[in-house]
Amino acid sequence: MLLLSTEAVWAGNDKRRGTAGATELLINPWARSNGWGSANVANVRGLDAFYSNIAGLSYVSNVEFSYTNTMLNGGKSGLNSGATINAFGLGVRLFDRGVMGLSIMSMGFGDIPVTTYESPEPINGTFSPTLMNINVAYAHTFTASIKGGVNVKVVSESTDNISGSAFAVDAGIQYVTGENDELKFGISLKNWGPSFSFGGSGMSFTFINDADNTMTGEFRAAEMELPTCLNIGLSYDFLIEALSQHVTIAAAFTSNAFLKDNFAVGLEYGMLNILNLRCGYVYQTDIFDPEKRTTSNSGLCAGASVDIPLSKAESENKTSLSIDYSFRASTNLRGTHAIGATFRF
């Protein structure tokens, strides 16, 4: 299914840039993978897989719950009225080879003043747009080397008088090889689904016709396609026995149907299975040109995680708490900060 859908993803061209709807689906709401620019398409594990590659959900050992709060470009109090994102995730292993997952991402913008053509001054109250997507996923371990997963999502965008909704499907595969599973390859297709449009009372208007009668009309909303993309990633682990250290190099390519393609590279250093430090860079065409740049991110990102064991090492059901943080630098806006916690038991 991934290979057959590739043709549609590569169909993007400059004339289609910026014409997709629900582009919040291209924002990573998870702190752990944001720390190295979502370069971990090949080696993502746990609930972060809902964004990078759903196949990584298969690594949930028993039960995993995660929450992340992201202040996009400074959050609601940011320089240019940024947004705040809240993401919740739950993964449960059903049997030896299968994991079910649920995640919810909610994006809010605070109170925005209402202005109209007739009343351009902000004296008409406020409105609060809400963007939300709900994901239900299943990941399966086919062999020791091959993991796969499918995610079905419902997207909802609304204000007090206009709303729109759509559904989409993600699919992904991860392949692991090497004496110590150090080499990994991953591919995922995201946000594949039908187009959608907006409707509601906010689309209607009143007017007086030539016969001096008051009538009600309605604007026709154009249909928008979802921001389909294809991710391909590769990673390699350099393992050091002393202090259980590892250095992981990861790279990923994202082919966007309605945006410029992204190239991400990342580096992770871990020690004692407790501390992990990450950094990365995400490049796209014209990112250094202020006149042609089409992203607010400058490309640099960094992050860290602390995994705190809450049970004895010899315990059969290991319990742990992970605290994750990430930062993505922006150009003319404040940077994006994300902090989250993951509880495993």
Judge if pTM exceeds 0.85: yes
- Across the range 329-340, mean pLDDT stands at 88
pLDDT at residue 14 greater than cutoff 70? no
Predicted local distance difference test score (pLDDT) of residue 332: 77
- Across the range 236-245, mean pLDDT stands at 95
**Angle, vertex CA 276, rays to CA 272 and CA 278, nearest 5:** 150
Residue type, position 9, single letter: V
Looking up tokens 């039960």, which residue turns up? 63
- Across the range 177-200, mean pLDDT stands at 94
pLDDT at residue 221 greater than cutoff 60? yes
Length, in residues, of the chain: 345
Nearest alpha carbon to residue 266 among 56, 46, 38: 38
Quote the CA–CA distance of 36 and 24 in Å, as a whole number.
19
Please give the mean pLDDT across all residues of the chain.
89
Predicted local distance difference test score (pLDDT) of residue 306: 97
- At 62-112, the pLDDT tens digits run 999 999 999 988 765 444 456 899 999 999 999 899 999 999 999 988 888
Quote the CA–CA distance of 5 and 312 in Å, as a whole number.
46
In the chain, where are the structural domains located? 2-14+28-115+125-344
**Angle, vertex CA 84, rays to CA 53 and CA 16, nearest 5:** 60
Nearest alpha carbon to residue 189 among 161, 159, 226: 226
User: What CA dihedral angle connects 299, 279, 319 and 135, to 10 degrees?
Assistant: 20
The percent of residues above 90 in pLDDT, for the chain, comes to 63
The CATH code belonging to domain 2-14+28-115+125-344 is 2.40.160.60
Q: Is 213 left (phi over 0), alpha (psi -120 to 50) or beta?
A: beta
- Across the range 202-208, mean pLDDT stands at 83
Burial string for 113-147 (b: 16+ CB within 10 Å, else e) reads eeeeeeeeeeeeeeeeeebbbebebbbbbeeeeeb
Predicted local distance difference test score (pLDDT) of residue 3: 53
